Amino acid sequence: MNQPDSLVRQILDDLEPRIDLAHVARARARNRAALDYANVDRAPIVFYLPYEGTQFTPYPYAEAFADPAKMMVNELLIGFTSIYHAVDLRDDAPYCLRPNLGIGILSSQFGAEVRLVENNPPWVMPLGDVEKLRALADAPLPDVHSGLVPRALEQYDYFADALKDYPNCRAAFQFTMPDLQGPFSIAELLFGSAIYPVFYDGPGLIRHWLARITAQMIAVYRVLVAKTKGDLGAGYCYQHAVAVKGNVLVRDDSMINLSPKMYREVVLPFDQQLGQELGVAVHFCGRGSHQVGNLLQIPNLGSLDFGNPEMNDLDALYAQAQLQRVALLRLAVPENELRASTIAHRFPRGANLTIKPTSVQHAHALLRQYQN
């Protein structure tokens, strides 16, 4: 057994007796009920905990990208929330492990270079100028097991093998999807910024690529979802260490750069196809309020996930979304408003919250404040 494998076992040895499966079941029920607009005792809340332990040391990202054991160490210690500390905090965070390979899984299948620069998450290098994209437009779709997909499958197998001797960890841990992005975000990665003039010069080329990407994304999802493990049931998943209504989280960050009309006429049909075939949630970072009316036209849309909730009018969006029972994910409020009774008046159903505390001790104090 090499050093990273040994470290995985040491961390699991530490976690195994600390996991409270009854708490895990309560959090699961609360998370699921909130997504369904059912009555809950309080809105679910997840604290994105920093890792403050001294016994174990995470690996640089570039090393973890290439080594399943090192990636598992990092997922346990420094994922969206530190599982190492979350098992003691006992907020509503699911204990999630994912193949954290960055944004380039689909792009790598279409031939884009995924580049690691120092200790940063991967960069995707565009395929070339628009004429090259035009020349590649009618190529056969990539092999569904090409690019980074084998690396993701290897990571899932490592997670499963590592947990086989730890019944509490095996019962509590969820295996979640890697970041598949979304059709337009992938198209932007392949084209680079040159994609935006094409909306005016020849949007048919963008539609053609979006159709290809959507078909490939569905195929890759079906391969990877067989390796995931979740306890919320069909139609739900976990992403970003929160419960999600929708089988897959579509990342639509790039759509915020478009007008509502441009998104609706060129991009929306492909997000609607994903909704129709898979059932989705949609994520965006930044200010995306201008697109929410379009997003609510996606069939089988279960929830909206906010990377920057502070940049959006959450009360206005909640008023829109609740009409269709679309849940809002990862809402944030000021600390002085972090009380369950206050949240119950503002977002009575169909929402969960995330908070980024300054320390683990700070998280414990805020959770007590919220619950009381």
**8-state DSSP, 263:** I
- Residue 241 and residue 79 in contact, taking contact as beta carbons nearer than 8 Å: yes
Query: In this structure, what token pair is assigned to residue 59?
Result: 């690996």
pLDDT along the chain (372 residues), means of 10: 91 98 98 97 97 96 97 98 98 98 98 92 94 95 98 98 98 98 98 96 96 98 98 97 98 96 98 98 96 98 97 96 97 94 95 98 98 90
User: Cα separation of 97 and 340, whole Å?
Assistant: 28
* Residue 372 pLDDT: 85
Kindly report the CATH number assigned to the domain that includes residue 349: 3.20.20.210
User: Cα separation of 71 and 99, whole Å?
Assistant: 8
* Residue 1 pLDDT: 59
- Residue 108 and residue 148 in contact, taking contact as beta carbons nearer than 8 Å: yes
Q: In what helix (H) or strand (E) does residue 328 lie, and over which residues does it extend?
A: strand 327-331
* Residue 118 pLDDT: 86
**SS in 3 state form for the chain?**
CCHHHHHHHHHHHHHHHHCCHHHHHHHHHHHHHHHCCCCCCCCCEEECCCCCCCCCCCCCHHHHHHCHHHHHHHHHHHCCCCHHHHHHHCCCCCEEECCCCCCCHHHHHCCCEEECCCCCCCEEECCCCHHHHHHHCCCCCCCCCCCCHHHHHHHHHHHHHHHCCCHHHHHHEEECCCCCCCHHHHHHHHHHHHHHHHHHHCHHHHHHHHHHHHHHHHHHHHHHHCCCECCCCCCEEEECCEEEECCEEEECHHHHHCCHHHHHHHHHHHHHHHHHHHCEEEEECCCCHHHHHHHCCCCCEEEEEECCHHHCCHHHHHHHHHCCCCEEEEECCCHHHCCHHHHHHHCCCCEEEEECCCCHHHHHHHHHHHHC
Burial class (CB in 10 A: 0-12, 13-18, 19+), 169: buried
* Residue 119 pLDDT: 87
User: Cα separation of 271 and 250, whole Å?
Assistant: 8
* Residue 60 pLDDT: 96
- Residue 34 lies in domain: 3-371
Query: In this structure, what token pair is assigned to residue 202?
Result: 């020849």
The total of structural domains in the chain comes to: 1
